[in-house]
A and B are shown apart, each in its own frame.
Chain A
């Protein structure tokens, strides 16, 4: 496997602290959601991001609120890395009025446009053209903003992959397409469903760079993303980065994951764990002390509990909210009982 050999530049102690905090937020948020779902507290479909933290965080470390991202079914990690508040996220998962989408979207449609988070997506492959569109706005308005399209290995086989990337390439749009290849599209292995060995191999067909990185290594993702985001900001067009990663939980909560070999699961949950790897890197580089890292973990534990409490205590949406926000300027009439 061709792995990007870019040296890691610019991971300062401050950046390392931010990255470790965001990775912990994702892990602890998802572990807590897993618990809550198991207790029957959370409604609907939930797809957890735990295990893939290094990807969202390594990429979003180069973005600010002006930059956009498009996400997937597995969107909580992207939300957190892009700066969405845990309170509003958790409340959204509970379907509460105080949620990021006022309870209307839920886990699969969680979004925060002010933070440049253009939504998790219920449609596999939905994000490719959406990212291209946000990048077109940036190009036409000369804002310098970049759009990142996170997508799974399943989406790499969807027709929109081709249309979205080709469009971004011919229009030279500032997009970074980030494949999160966790090995399984639902229960179907990547090797069965994809004709290519690597998703990044397909970049060649669009004349754009295609990098492959260890998606469990936040520093590797960080380095590859730095190059791709800079390229996009400099008007040099789109890139594709394939991150080889793994999801710690099933496709959705309730999936028994029998398609995953036990050895594979165990190694990813233990020695290959992204948080463990990044913590070891931070320690080996002397960026932060153990006490500082422990402190981050404690603060995140607390923040997640605050978010759960906030969500539990928040009100449900009101009846009149049902037909609100269908259009901007046209009040729809409740014709459900006409």
Chain B
């Protein structure tokens, strides 16, 4: 029987395997070990990151390779860029993706652009692991989903896993990759279980996956919203609609053909993205399909996203902020109400 572990454990395992395989792989970030230089602290009592995702790594690899940093994102993310460019393969943890506000220059103007600006004579094998997502009552500055912003920047690759299996394989691929990769971890997925093989394997960047096959409707989900899409697909089955769920897994590079092929088959597209709706990944995918797949479409493309507002603290508001299966069903019913080929 296949082994079941959590999303969080899958990420830790990927870190372990990468660090065992290549001594140039190091981890740095705020309290990624925790309690640096506290004499009485045993390393197994150390935090291992604010959510405990990297707990135990310091015991195996020591504090030279699991580096606690000051709360100074511009400093250590910037240092990670040239640490990568000069021969190491660092994984830098940006605790919450919202904190990119404190170090966007280092990512956008330095890390993303070195290779191009230097005429292809540099490479930046840096992975930035970062937490995103709403639903944790963490309010406006700790809950955003900013992968769209990074997808818009040439020179950076962007990965958003939705399952423990993908998280492990994609993180190993990200660390192996010679370009800077921002790896997004939805904080509400950390305790989700899934089948994960024990050994080293990679999931290639730029290769999406059909998470559920179907013939009448394509639902593309990003990260955790793949799960929402699967939930909606189940409910649609009961209504006699056969939905296919597509998980792009990486947003840059984007597996365009898996989306276009699916829409060619189904003729209908809903994109579920919990980021704010303007200039987000759902908009980008909608444009792609409008451009290259217009002839396949039997109905307008629909997007289910967060509204155009910050993430509210109050549980009553945050619950309605997020996409849901109900919201997906509502747009699907609008898409097919005039369509005589499908009854709902």
Interface residues of A (CB under 8 A from B): 43-45, 92, 95-97, 99, 101, 103-106, 108-109, 121-125, 154-155, 157-160, 185-189, 191-194, 256, 258-259, 261, 316-317, 319, 321-323, 326, 332-338
- Interface pairs A-B: 9 shortest CB-CB: A106-B313, A122-B141, A95-B314, A44-B137, A103-B314, A316-B316, A43-B137, A259-B35, A157-B70
B291 close to chain A: CB less than 8 A: no
Q: Which residue of B lies closest to A157 (CB)?
A: B70
Give the contact stretch, choosing among B7-15, B43-51, B224-232: B43-51
Write out the residue numbers on chain B whose beta carbons fall within 8 Å of the beta carbon of A338.
277, 302-303
Interchain CB contact (< 8 A) of A108 among B41, B141, B277, B316: B141
Write out the residue numbers on chain A whose beta carbons fall within 8 Å of the beta carbon of B74.
159
B288 close to chain A: CB less than 8 A: no
Give the contact stretch, choosing among B168-176, B212-220, B319-327: B319-327
Contacts A192-B36, A335-B305; A154 near B71 (Cβ below 8 A): yes
Q: Which residue of B lies closest to A195 (CB)?
A: B70
Over the window 305-344 of chain B, the binary record of Cβ atoms lying under 8 Å from chain A Cβ atoms (1 yes, 0 no) is 1111110111111001101000100110000000000000
Interchain CB contact (< 8 A) of A157 among B68, B71, B304, B307: B71
Majority SS of interface residues in chain B? loop
> Whole-angstrom distance from the CB of A128 to the nearest CB of chain B?
12
Write out the residue numbers on chain A whose beta carbons fall within 8 Å of the beta carbon of B327.
336-337
Write out the residue numbers on chain A whose beta carbons fall within 8 Å of the beta carbon of B98.
122-123
Complex: A195 Cα to B109 Cα, angstroms = 28
Contacts A108-B142, A332-B307, A336-B277; A43 near B31 (Cβ below 8 A): no
Write out the residue numbers on chain A whose beta carbons fall within 8 Å of the beta carbon of B307.
322-323, 332-336
Q: Is B313 a contact partner of A95 (Cβ separation < 8 A)? A: yes
Q: Which residue of A lies closest to B323 (CB)?
A: A336
30 A–B contacts from the bound complex (CB under 8 Å): A43-B315, A104-B310, A104-B313, A106-B314, A109-B139, A122-B140, A123-B99, A124-B71, A155-B71, A157-B70, A158-B71, A160-B102, A186-B34, A186-B47, A187-B34, A192-B68, A193-B71, A194-B70, A256-B45, A258-B41, A259-B34, A259-B45, A317-B316, A326-B308, A326-B310, A332-B308, A335-B308, A336-B277, A336-B307, A338-B303
Q: Is B102 a contact partner of A125 (Cβ separation < 8 A)? A: yes
> Whole-angstrom distance from the CB of B88 to the nearest CB of chain A?
22
B121 close to chain A: CB less than 8 A: no
Write out the residue numbers on chain A whose beta carbons fall within 8 Å of the beta carbon of B309.
322-323, 326, 332
Write out the residue numbers on chain B whose beta carbons fall within 8 Å of the beta carbon of A332.
307-309
Complex: A121 Cα to B140 Cα, angstroms = 10
Write out the residue numbers on chain B whose beta carbons fall within 8 Å of the beta carbon of A103.
312-314, 316-317
Q: Is B277 a contact partner of A186 (Cβ separation < 8 A)? A: no
Complex: A96 Cα to B313 Cα, angstroms = 10
Complex: A267 Cα to B98 Cα, angstroms = 37
Contacts A44-B313, A108-B142, A336-B305; A185 near B34 (Cβ below 8 A): no
B3 close to chain A: CB less than 8 A: no
Q: Is B141 a contact partner of A186 (Cβ separation < 8 A)? A: no
Write out the residue numbers on chain B whose beta carbons fall within 8 Å of the beta carbon of A95.
137, 313-317
Write out the residue numbers on chain B whose beta carbons fall within 8 Å of the beta carbon of A125.
71, 102
Write out the residue numbers on chain B whose beta carbons fall within 8 Å of the beta carbon of A194.
70
Q: Which residue of A lies closest to B48 (CB)?
A: A187
Contacts A95-B313, A188-B68, A259-B34; A44 near B102 (Cβ below 8 A): no
Complex: A336 Cα to B320 Cα, angstroms = 9
Q: Which residue of B lies closest to A159 (CB)?
A: B74
Q: Is A259 a contact partner of B41 (Cβ separation < 8 A)? A: yes
Name the residue among B137, B304, B330 with the largest chain A CB count within 10 angstroms: B137
Complex: A229 Cα to B101 Cα, angstroms = 31
> Whole-angstrom distance from the CB of A98 to the nearest CB of chain B?
11
Contacts A157-B70, A322-B317; A44 near B136 (Cβ below 8 A): yes
B37 close to chain A: CB less than 8 A: yes
B72 close to chain A: CB less than 8 A: yes
B38 close to chain A: CB less than 8 A: yes
Q: Is A188 a contact partner of B140 (Cβ separation < 8 A)? A: no
Interchain CB contact (< 8 A) of A189 among B37, B45, B315: B37
Contacts A103-B312, A187-B34; A193 near B70 (Cβ below 8 A): yes
Write out the residue numbers on chain B whose beta carbons fall within 8 Å of the beta carbon of A154.
70-71
> Whole-angstrom distance from the CB of A110 to the nearest CB of chain B?
9
Complex: A37 Cα to B100 Cα, angstroms = 29
Write out the residue numbers on chain B whose beta carbons fall within 8 Å of the beta carbon of A101.
313
B241 close to chain A: CB less than 8 A: no
B210 close to chain A: CB less than 8 A: no
> Whole-angstrom distance from the CB of B144 to the nearest CB of chain A?
11
Complex: A194 Cα to B141 Cα, angstroms = 25
Write out the residue numbers on chain A whose beta carbons fall within 8 Å of the beta carbon of B41.
258-259
Contacts A43-B137, A96-B314, A122-B139; A159 near B102 (Cβ below 8 A): yes
Complex: A247 Cα to B100 Cα, angstroms = 28
> Whole-angstrom distance from the CB of A333 to the nearest CB of chain B?
7
> Whole-angstrom distance from the CB of B181 to the nearest CB of chain A?
24
Interchain CB contact (< 8 A) of B141 among A109, A193, A326: A109
> Whole-angstrom distance from the CB of B221 to the nearest CB of chain A?
15
Q: Is B102 a contact partner of A158 (Cβ separation < 8 A)? A: yes
Write out the residue numbers on chain A whose beta carbons fall within 8 Å of the beta carbon of B247.
none
Write out the residue numbers on chain A whose beta carbons fall within 8 Å of the beta carbon of B35.
187-189, 258-259
B40 close to chain A: CB less than 8 A: yes
B138 close to chain A: CB less than 8 A: yes
Q: Which residues of B, 77-136, contact A by the 8 Å Cβ criterion?
A: 98-99, 101-102, 136
Complex: A321 Cα to B309 Cα, angstroms = 11
